[in-house]
Amino acid sequence: MARTSRKKRSTLANRAVVAAAALFLGGGGLIAVNVYASAGEGGSGAPPGQFRNAARQMSTIDCPDAGIALPDVPDGARPEVDRELAAMDTQITDAYREFADRKERIARDPELAGNAVLGPLRSRRAASLDRIGTAVERVDGRRPQGLEGLAGCSLRADDDNGGDGNGDGDGDGDGQDGGQGGGDDNGSGDGNGSGQDGGQGDGQDQGDGQGGGQGGDQGQQGNGPEASDFVDIQSVEPAADRPRNRRGASRGTFTTDCGRNENGKFNPDNVIAAPGVSNGAHHMHDYVGNQATDAFAGDDQLAAGETTCRNQGDRSTYYWPVLRLQNGQDENDVDADGGGRDQNTGEIQTPSQVTLTFTGSPAGKVTAMPRFLRIITGDAKAFTNGDANANASWSCTGFEDRQLKDKYPICPEGSQVVRSFAFQSCWDGQNTDSANHRTHVAFAQDDGRCPDGFRAIPQLVQRIVYDVPPGPGFAVDSFPEQLHKPVTDHGDFINVFDEKLMKKVVSCVNGGRKCR
C-alpha cells in the first residue's frame, strides 16, 4: 500500500507524549505507554481520553497453527492450501473483531464467547481444513490425518496467566483448547492443555498490569504490547561467544545497500507464506530491494522488478513487519487492512539504518544460493505456537553484545533500538521453497556445521536500527492474536541476485574479503 502522507520521524513532541504518559501513571510509567489513541485523538498532547482504557483488559483467541501440521503438501495442492491457510488467518481476525464488539457482554456472560465467537470460528476453520484435506487428497491420493483436531480454538482472558489448560473453548475435548499461547511446547498440546500455561518466558503471561489501550474500540485501537514486554538493556547479561572458526572457514562478507525504505513501500501481503492472497500477513511490512513485491508477484515479475539496491544485480526482496510508535499519531492505514483493521495502529517508523550483510560459515566454504530461494526466519505466530522457531534479536546501539529474544529493549538516552535477524545458512541443495516454508533450509548446528543433507550458503544478517524515544512505547506489527509480542518478529527474503553477482558474493565470503 502506497503512503500518501509524508512520514514524520520521532520528534520532541512525540517524546513529550511518552514522558507525560510515564508521569501520568507513575511507578516507572511502563504501563501507560501501551496506549494506542483512537482515530482522531491526534498526537498534540496526552489528553485524559488517551488513558481511558488503562484499567481494561482483553483476551486472546488461541488457535492451533495448521501450517505447522502440514509439512508435506504436494506441489499441485499448494496454491489451494496456501489460500485456505490465509483464509484461516482472516477467520481469526474476524473472530477477534467479533469478540471486541461483544467484549462487555462476554464479560457478563462468558458462555457467549463460545456460542457467538468460538463456535462459529470452529465451523469456519473446520470447513477450511476439510477443503485442505480434499485438495491434498485430490493430488496425492491420501488425506492428511488429524486435520479435524485443529479446528477448535480457545479464548484466554489476559488475567488467566497464560491459560489454565481449559479456556472458554468449545468443549470438544480434542486437546486443542489448552491455551495455545504460552509454553515452550510449540503449540503441540497433550490432550488436556497441560504444558501450555505459564506464558512465553517470564514476560508473556497476561497477568495484572495489562496496561493502557488494551480495550475499547478494537477497530481503532491496538492490543499490545504490555509493560512486561520491555526490559532495560543495561540489566541484560552479555551473550555467549559464537562458535570459533575452524580451519578453512569462510570469513568474508558481502554487504548490499538497498536503502531504508525511504520511498515508503508498504503492504500487508506475504508472497512467500500466502501467495496470491491480499492482506495475507494481516500486518504491514517494510520493503527494501525489489519494488515489484506484493502477494501476486511471481519469479518473472521479481526478475523484471525495479530495485532500491545500489548494485542493480541485486533485485532480491527483503521485508519485515513495520515498527510503530504508540504515541497517539494516526497513520493513513488506520482504516485499512494490515493497519487499524488488524489492530496495528500508531506511527510507522522509517529505520535510521538498514544493513544487509551476507556472511560465511565457521565450519567451511559456502556454495551459491539458488535464484528465487525463499527464506522466512522467525515465527509470526510464536506467541501462540511457542518459541521453537523464534529468531529475532533486539538490542541497543552500544550494547549489541546483549541480545533479547522475547523482550523489547529499553535503551538509554543516546542509544538507538536495534532489531536483527540471522537467517538460516544451510540449504537442502534441491528446493527453493517447501510446503511449510522452513524444511528446505536449516540453521547450522552448535559446532557451525550444517545438518546432514544440507550445504552451507551465505548467511543473510539483517540489522535494522530505529531512532525512537527512550523507554517503552513502540512495537512491531503482528497478527491480532499475537498481541505485538517481540518474540513474533520475523524477516523474509527472496534471493534475486543475478548469477554474476552471486558468484561475487561466494568468492568474497570464501576468500575472506569484505566486499560491497
Report which secondary-structure segment, H or E, holds 300.
Answer: helix 299-304
Report which secondary-structure segment, H or E, holds 256.
Answer: strand 253-256
- Return the percentage of the chain with pLDDT > 90, whole number: 62
Q: Answer with the residue of higher pLDDT: 405 or 240.
A: 405
Report which secondary-structure segment, H or E, holds 508.
Answer: helix 499-510
Q: Answer with the residue of higher pLDDT: 280 or 108.
A: 280
Say if residue 164's pLDDT is above 50: no
pLDDT of res. 221: 42
pLDDT of res. 70: 84
pLDDT of res. 223: 76
The CA distance from 370 to 138, in Å, is 30
**Please, which contacts does 25-30 make with residues 24 or more away whose CB atoms are closer than 8 Å?**
25/51, 25/54, 25/212, 29/471, 30/211, 30/227, 30/230, 30/471, 30/472
pLDDT band, very low/low/confident/very high, at 5 (cuts 50, 70, 90): very low
Q: Answer with the residue of higher pLDDT: 397 or 193.
A: 397
Compute the average pLDDT of residues 186-203.
34
φ, ψ of residue 393 to 5 degrees: the values are: -125, 145
Contact present, 133 and 143 (Cβ < 8 Å): yes
Angle between helices 78-101 and 119-140 (to 10 degrees): 180
The CA distance from 139 to 77, in Å, is 6
| Per-chain mean pLDDT for the chain | 79
- The mean-pLDDT minimum among 64-78, 175-189, 343-357, 424-438 falls in 175-189
The CA distance from 135 to 398, in Å, is 52
pLDDT of res. 160: 42
**DSSP one-letter code for 240:** P
Structure confidence by residue, pLDDT tens digits, 56-89:
344 678 899 998 888 789 999 999 999 999 999 9
CA 309 to chain centre: 24
- Return the percentage of the chain with pLDDT > 70, whole number: 75
Say if residue 179's pLDDT is above 60: no
Say if residue 196's pLDDT is above 60: no
Say if residue 50's pLDDT is above 70: no
Q: Answer with the residue of higher pLDDT: 395 or 116.
A: 395
Contact present, 166 and 110 (Cβ < 8 Å): no
Say if residue 393's pLDDT is above 80: yes
pLDDT of res. 509: 98
Q: Answer with the residue of higher pLDDT: 100 or 454.
A: 454
Q: Which residue bears the cell 528465487?
A: 372
Report which secondary-structure segment, H or E, holds 79.
Answer: helix 78-101
Say if residue 413's pLDDT is above 60: yes
Helix, strand, coil percentages in the chain from 3-state DSSP, rounded to 5: 25, 20, 55
Buried (b) or exposed (e) across 71-102, using 16+ Cβ within 10 A? Answer: eebbeebbebbbbbbbbbbbbbbebbbbbbee
Compute the average pLDDT of residues 387-415.
96
pLDDT band, very low/low/confident/very high, at 490 (cuts 50, 70, 90): very high
pLDDT of res. 458: 98
The CA distance from 287 to 322, in Å, is 9
Say if residue 453's pLDDT is above 80: yes
In degrees, rounded to 5, the angle at the alpha carbon of residue 327 between the alpha carbons of residues 287 and 222 is: 75
The CA distance from 212 to 43, in Å, is 16
Say if residue 235's pLDDT is above 80: yes
Structure confidence by residue, pLDDT tens digits, 98-126:
887 887 888 888 788 888 889 999 999 99
The CA distance from 226 to 210, in Å, is 6
- The mean-pLDDT minimum among 138-142, 178-182, 228-232 falls in 178-182
Compute the average pLDDT of residues 27-46.
29
Say if residue 242's pLDDT is above 70: no
pLDDT band, very low/low/confident/very high, at 302 (cuts 50, 70, 90): very high
Say if residue 134's pLDDT is above 80: yes
pLDDT of res. 157: 60
